[in-house]
Structure formats: structure tokens, C-alpha cells
Amino acid sequence: MENIKKMVKPGPVPEHVGIIMDGNGRWAKMRNLPRSEGHKYGADVIEPLMDAAIDLGIKAVSLYAFSVENWSRPVSEVRGLWNLLEYFFNTKLASIKEKNIRIKHSGSLRGLPPSTKKTILRAVDETAVNKKITLNFCVNYGSRQEIVRAVNDWAASLKKPEKLTEKKLEKFLYTSDLPQLDLLIRTSGEYRISNFLLWQAAYAELYFTDILWPDFRPEDLYESIVEFQKRERRFGGI
């Protein structure tokens, strides 16, 4: 751990990191455990990950916790994910507040169980003034849906016809109050971004690792930062 930390340069560190937390089911299957156990172990990764993010000076972390496509999973698994989300906030909220972490939610609250919706809103409300780092839970989230919603909300805000621009649209995205996405990480060896932060990832560096999410450790985050610092970011220039 200390060796990889020493490899991180004082130079540019991503302000906003997005993570597709993939591999919980495969992790559980490899151990002859139910998928729900993979999700539980995956949830345990979040707190030490945020400690490392704070240490690195990262300003925001967006986690792909539940996509709009995940509704197609078995009812029992979906119900278990809601229970796990509620358990996470009920047991970790005090520590989150102590560490000055702000909780943000991106996605639609429609369709969520009332208790889950209440738990999310409580976490958002009780951490609203925290400023050390933002932990953005993308729950019931899909990037295509986010963009369509943003366009519709922009159109509804108009008092007279005007031209839509990127800057105007960005004000209506869930992430409008977050830094630009610099680094997008996906675990488990899959090489796709699965409808996650499509707009925001336009110039983000992509980092793929074979590590399954429950095995992702703080040193793996540091390793992704070391790789990030090797990249030459030109944003379309020379």
C-alpha cells in the first residue's frame, strides 16, 4: 500500500471519479455464495475507498449503484439491493457525517420503495452542508434517461424560444454541481460503460481492471490514479 501511494505524483489528481462497481455476482458465484453476499461485500468496499479518495484530494466520487436496467433482475435480488442500501446508510451515516462527506443522489426516485426513498433523502439532507468530498450515489440511474430528462426540463423552463447549448443543458444534468468527470473506472474485466455518465465521460480517462468489485481495495484506487497521471489529456487538441 505505501509503495503504490509513493508512486502518486503531487501533480494532477482527478477531481471527479466515476466507478462502475461490477463483479459482485461473479465474486459470490466463485465462492459458492448467493449473489446477495457479493453485494454485501461490495458495499463494504465503499467506506475505505472514500477514505483513500479523501487522502488523494479527490472532490467527488460517483458510484453506479443501481441502473434503470437493473429492474430486470429477479425481484428477490432487487429487493435485497434496496435493503442493503438502507442498511448501508443506517449504519454508516454517522461516520459519513463525521468525515465531512456530502451524499448526493443522481437518478429517479420514482418507483423506489418508500423506505428506500426516505433513507436516501435523509442521507442527502443530513449531509448537505458537508464539504470535504461528495459521494454521489447513482441509483435508478441511466445516462440516456438523464439527458432526455435534462432536455425536457430545459424546454419546460423557457419563457420564449432559444437555442440549446452544451452549457445550458449541463445545468439540468444531475451532476451540474459536481466537477467535470476526469476518470471513469470499471471493475471485473468488462470493457463498456453501460449507460453510465455518457455526457460527463466525453473527455474522461477510462480505466478498466479485472479486479471484481468486492476485492477492490484502496491501493487499487491509488493504482488507477498512477495510471491517470501517465495519460496525456489533450481534450481534442494537439
Q: Residue 38 has which C-alpha cell?
A: 457479493
Which residues fall within 8 angstroms of residue 79, CB to CB, at 6 or more apart? none
Does the active-site annotation cover 130? no
Among the listed residues 51, 70, 83, 195, the single catalytic one is 70
Chain centre distance of CA 197: 9
The answer for residues whose C-beta is within 8 angstroms of residue 12's C-beta and 6 or more apart is 228, 229
136 carries an active-site annotation: no
Number of C-beta neighbours around residue 32 at 10 A: 7
Among candidate residues 22, 24, 140, 220, the one labeled active-site is 22
**Does the CA dihedral 204-11-222-60 come out positive or negative?**
negative
Q: Where in the sequence numbering do the catalytic residues fall? A: 22, 70
